[in-house]
Amino acid sequence: MASARSPRVVAAALLGVVALLAGCASPATTTVTSCIDWVGFDTPADAAEDADAVIIGEVGEQSGSTTYYEMPAAMWEVSVDAWVKGGDGSSEIVVTSLPRSCGDTRDSVADAVDAGPVVLFLRDGDQGWETLTPFQGIVATGVDGAVPVEWPTDLYD
**69-128 residue pLDDT tens:** 888 899 999 999 999 999 999 999 999 999 887 776 788 899 899 889 999 999 999 889
Distance between CA atoms of residues 117 and 78, nearest Å: 10
Res. 55: pLDDT tops 80: yes
Residue 106 lies in a domain: yes
pLDDT at res. 68: 87
Residue 79 lies in a domain: yes
pLDDT at res. 157: 61
As for how many domains the chain has, the answer is 1
pLDDT tier, 43 (very low <50, low <70, confident <90, very high otherwise):
very high
DSSP lists the bridge partners of residue 123 as: 130
Res. 63: pLDDT tops 80: yes
Residue 60 lies in a domain: yes
Residue 84 lies in a domain: yes
pLDDT at res. 4: 55
pLDDT at res. 114: 87
Q: Give me the amino acid identity at 80.
A: V
For residues 81 and 117, the answer to whether their CB atoms sit within 8 Å is: yes
Per the structure, the complete domain to which residue 69 belongs is given by 44-140
> Higher-confidence residue: 97 or 29?
97
**4-28 residue pLDDT tens:** 555 565 455 555 554 544 555 555 6
Residue 120 lies in a domain: yes
> Higher-confidence residue: 57 or 23?
57
**31-42 residue pLDDT tens:** 566 777 778 999
**121-148 residue pLDDT tens:** 999 998 899 999 999 999 999 989 999 9
Tell me the HSE value of 52 on the side-chain side, using a 13 A CA sphere.
Answer: 13
Distance between CA atoms of residues 4 and 24, nearest Å: 31
Distance between CA atoms of residues 126 and 79, nearest Å: 21
Residue 20 lies in a domain: no
Q: Which of 141, 131, 134 is nearest to 51 (CA)?
A: 131
What are the backbone dihedrals phi and psi of residue 150, each rounded to the nearest 5 degrees, phi first? -135, 165
Residue 155 lies in a domain: no
| Buried residues in 10-33 as b, exposed as e (16+ CB within 10 A) | eeeeeeeeeeeeeeeeeeeeeeee
Residue 29 lies in a domain: no
| CATH number for position 64 | 2.40.50.120
